[in-house]
């Protein structure tokens, strides 16, 4: 087998919101495990290109693709770019998502709730739709895996902080279970990783930059998690080692 033929056989993983935090950690690990990695980003071009450079310097294969993963035209353009670059897709990691400022429900604006659901729920739905079209054996694909990134907030509710965020992640849990049953016969496994408090900069965007430290006392393992610990779970669920797992929810939250 030539080097080019070997490259064409390497699986391809698409990670939405892949330029930072859990997405970036997943990209690094997946590249180390032999995936060709597509790092989707919205606005952080420098971070995405730096990540690609790091992966390539370590002998991996990666490409950064700018697209709004919450807009249908952006998602379609993203998947078409994957088709052009690699001609195949084996794993979708629905990782892109947002949190917002701490707020009670009676203070929420319509615009905030609509934005939360569009980015955290509608985007992953449409990304999964496009992935299924490419992976499903019904459509001539060779199967694959989808890993959705949820949150411990989905079952804890987010009261007095961000019920809208928690509700969006609850929707992802239900979506994952239904989709897993729908596409199992098509060779596609769908699973969910539900992180607890993880040391990334998403907390600052929600107005709680010190949350990893302040939450430690309420976490049975006594600390916040690291992005790499979530990446380990994502890459495992995507791999053949998890070949009999579909519709599963893997809590990686320190025991909360």
CA 130 to mean position of chain CA atoms: 15
Which CATH code for domain 9-252? 3.40.50.720
Cβ atoms of 25 and 228 within 8 Å: the answer is: yes
Taking only the tens place, the pLDDT of each residue in 200-233 is 766 555 656 677 777 888 999 999 999 999 999 9
For residue 63, give the 3-state DSSP assignment: strand
Query: For position 202, what pLDDT does the model report?
Result: 62
Cβ atoms of 195 and 225 within 8 Å: the answer is: yes
Cβ atoms of 199 and 224 within 8 Å: the answer is: yes
**179 to each of 139, 171, 234, how far by Cα in Å?**
16, 12, 17
Taking only the tens place, the pLDDT of each residue in 78-121 is 999 999 999 999 999 999 999 999 999 999 999 999 999 999 99
Catalytic residue among 35, 41, 162, 165: 165
Looking at 134-201, which runs of residues are DSSP E strands?
Answer: 144-149, 188-195
State the chain's maximal CA–CA distance in angstroms.
Answer: 62
41 is catalytic: no
Name the residue among 203, 112, 193, 105 with its Cα closest to residue 146: 193
Taking only the tens place, the pLDDT of each residue in 29-56 is 999 999 999 999 999 999 999 999 999 9
Burial class (CB in 10 A: 0-12, 13-18, 19+), 147: buried
């Amino acid at each position: 087998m030539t080097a080019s033929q070997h490259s064409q056989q390497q699986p391809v993983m698409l990670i939405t919101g892949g330029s930072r935090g859990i997405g970036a950690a997943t990209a690094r690990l997946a590249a180390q495990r032999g995936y060709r990695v597509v790092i989707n980003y919205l606005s952080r071009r420098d971070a995405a290109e730096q990540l690609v450079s790091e992966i390539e310097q370590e002998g991996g294969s990666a490409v950064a693709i700018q697209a709004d993963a919450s807009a249908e035209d952006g998602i379609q353009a993203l998947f078409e770019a994957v088709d052009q670059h690699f001609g195949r897709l084996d794993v979708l990691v629905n990782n892109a998502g947002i949190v917002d400022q701490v707020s009670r429900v009676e203070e929420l604006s319509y615009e905030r709730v609509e934005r939360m659901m569009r980015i955290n729920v509608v985007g992953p739905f449409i990304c999964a739709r496009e992935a299924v079209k490419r992976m499903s054996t019904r459509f001539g694909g060779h199967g694959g895996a989808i890993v959705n990134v949820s949150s411990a907030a989905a079952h804890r509710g987010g009261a007095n902080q961000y019920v809208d965020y928690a509700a969006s992640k609850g929707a992802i849990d239900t979506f994952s279970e239904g989709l897993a049953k729908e596409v199992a016969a098509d060779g596609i496994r769908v699973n969910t990783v539900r992180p607890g408090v993880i040391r990334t900069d998403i907390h600052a965007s929600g107005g709680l930059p010190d949350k990893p430290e302040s939450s430690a006392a309420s976490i049975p393992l006594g600390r916040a998690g690291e992005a790499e610990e979530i990446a380990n779970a994502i890459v495992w669920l995507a791999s053949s080692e998890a070949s009999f797992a579909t519709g599963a929810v893997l809590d990686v939250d320190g025991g909360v």
